[in-house]
Copies of this chain bind each other. A is one copy, B any other.
Amino acid sequence: MARMNMIQAINSAMDIAMERDPKVLVFGEDVGYFGGVFRATAGLQKKYGKQRCFDTPIAEGGIVGAAVGMGVYGLRPVVEIQFSDYIYPAFDQLVSEAARLRYRSAGGFTAPITVRTPCGGGIFGGQTHSQSPEAIFTHVCGLTTIMPSNPYDAKGLLLSAIEDDDPVIFFEPKRIYNGPFDGHHDRPLTPWTKHALGEVPEDYYTIELGKAKIVRPGDQVTVIAYGTMVHVCLAAAEESGIDAEVIDLRSLLPLDLDTLVASVKKTGRCVIVHEATKTCGYGAELVSLIQEHCFYHLESPIERVTGWDTPYPHAYEWDYFPSPYRVSQAIKKVMED
């Protein structure tokens, strides 16, 4: 076991994948010599040579287009989109091509690519370095969408993603690269080295895609979150004084619906939390499924706590970011109703 922050865990996953399989290669803007603006690919070019880890032109669509072609050849490219706010130029290649290639060729061609991309706010990045665009990918059949909340999961999930034979969008909440940020921006951050989930095996392991994790068992209300919000929800659960069960989805699609349904059937109440804007966010799908499957168990309307339906405003970041207080209020609300 080693102590790793999320960047180190992600780096370790790519390192091991490259070590084990010469078909794995890693590229993207600034990922080669420099090792990525967040340092996620540090050392990989030095270790595996510049053919296996390299810089690309600033052309997200070209990066994904080339990756699809490499996937068709039989390689397993792992590409980085520097910020998920900049993934839109690649949207067509992801949605029309990577996601549909297996289907339209009836399995004749496939695109086993992994797209890593930092997401989320809380770093004063303003509206173009803070977005959480997961819901536009979960609407697209053929894509798998993952968002880990800690180093241990990040490594195991990323290795599974790389080994997956279909395209995977791997969102990395950049606010928790260094530690489990719980939304209390005025308090010092606990680094991952001081957190149990910062204990990460140096060796190979995988975590199955599509399994949620109950990170705090509880009886009174189910709180569903992913990424940074998992830590916010844990704090909120404590602060609310209510015995909340907090579930970390880890994988948005495939979704571990069984775990959610079992929990809500037990608690009868549910709060869903994400940082992305509310309208048509991933939370909407969760609400829909839960009301469908747990209708007769629900004691109160499901609450969504999300980013507001505006871009992420630089100076008002902490009024935008769903705070533990806001989540705890929602927990109390569903209890009262």
Contact = CB atoms under 8 A, between A and B. Distances in A.
Given A91-B91, A92-B89, A127-B100, A310 B141 contact: yes
Interface stretch (A4-12, A153-161, A287-295): A287-295
A103 interface: yes
A306 to B, nearest CB: 11
Given A103-B310, A139-B276, A279-B285, 7 more contacts: A88-B95, A103-B127, A135-B139, A136-B136, A141-B310, A288-B288, A288-B304
Interface string A266-281: 0000000000110111
A118 interface: no
A199 interface: no
B285 A139 contact: no
Contacts of A91: 88, 91-92
A240 to B, nearest CB: 20
Interface residues on A, range: 35 or more
Given A96-B85, A291-B302, A284 B280 contact: yes
A190 interface: no
A141 B291 contact: no
B135 A280 contact: yes
A89 to B, nearest CB: 5
Number of identical protomers: 2
A284 B136 CA distance: 13
Interface in A241-283: 253, 276-277, 279-283
List the 10 closest A-B pairs by CB distance, nearest first: A88-B92, A139-B280, A284-B284, A295-B301, A287-B288, A91-B91, A284-B288, A284-B285, A136-B136, A141-B309
Given A280-B138, A280-B284, A104 B127 contact: yes
A226 B100 CA distance: 26
Interface of A: 61, 85, 88-89, 91-92, 95-96, 100, 103-104, 127-128, 135-136, 138-142, 253, 276-277, 279-285, 287-288, 291-293, 295, 298, 300-304, 309-311, 337
A265 to B, nearest CB: 14
B92 A311 contact: no
Contacts of A138: 279-280
A88 B93 CA distance: 9
A279 B280 CA distance: 11
A282 to B, nearest CB: 7
